[in-house]
Amino acid sequence: MRRRATIIALLAPLLLLCVLPAAEAQYGRYGGYGSRDAQSTVAGWYQRYLRRDMDPYSGSWVQALQQGQDPERVLAGILGSDEYYNHAGGRPRAFVRQLYEDVAGRRPTPREEDFWEHEVFHRSRSDVAYAILTRHAQNWDNDHDAWRDRYDYRRPHNPYR
């Protein structure tokens, strides 16, 4: 009896660790009570990148955030859309330039422009947008309070930037 109680006492925290991440993954940062946050986040992205208000079809992006999908993936889906591509000029080079201006806050170098233009022909536009988003994570998001835990560990920290 005593041995069983000891085993249960040791396994209880382990079981709790297994259950909590699953619940958090299911609802994500925007789940549960965060529906208003997800709605305002997507509305802000529509204004900033598509330069218009949300429509009834944008609810799928809100749902994706609420279900725990990474915000970078959701935004990459918006940036890879036909609407964004056509608004950027409807050509791969123009798309890459617009992505850099919107996401990185600058024009791409000629080398970056050539590389990513080539990638647009071989990958989906959403994948290209995601790659550029994750390389310039500190630039595309103005809401520092919501993303204060974001840090791009792939890039060395430079305090003089």
Domain boundaries in the chain?
30-140
Residue of higher predicted confidence among 7 and 104: 104
∠ Cα 150 151 155 (to 5°): 150
Q: pLDDT value at position 61?
A: 94
Which residues in 51-62 are b (16+ Cβ under 10 Å) and which e? eeebeeebeebb
Asked if 22 and 65 touch (Cβ cutoff 8 Å), the reply is no
Q: At what angle do helices 110-122 and 92-99 cross, to 10 degrees?
A: 120
Cα atoms in the Cβ-side hemisphere of radius 13 Å centred on 137 = 16
| pTM summary value | 0.67
Q: Which fold has domain 30-140?
A: serine acetyltransferase, domain 1 (1.10.3130)
Q: pLDDT value at position 37?
A: 85
- Tokens for 120? 């647009």
Comparing CA positions, the residue from 95, 103, 112, 113 lying closest to residue 138 is 103
Residue of higher predicted confidence among 107 and 9: 107
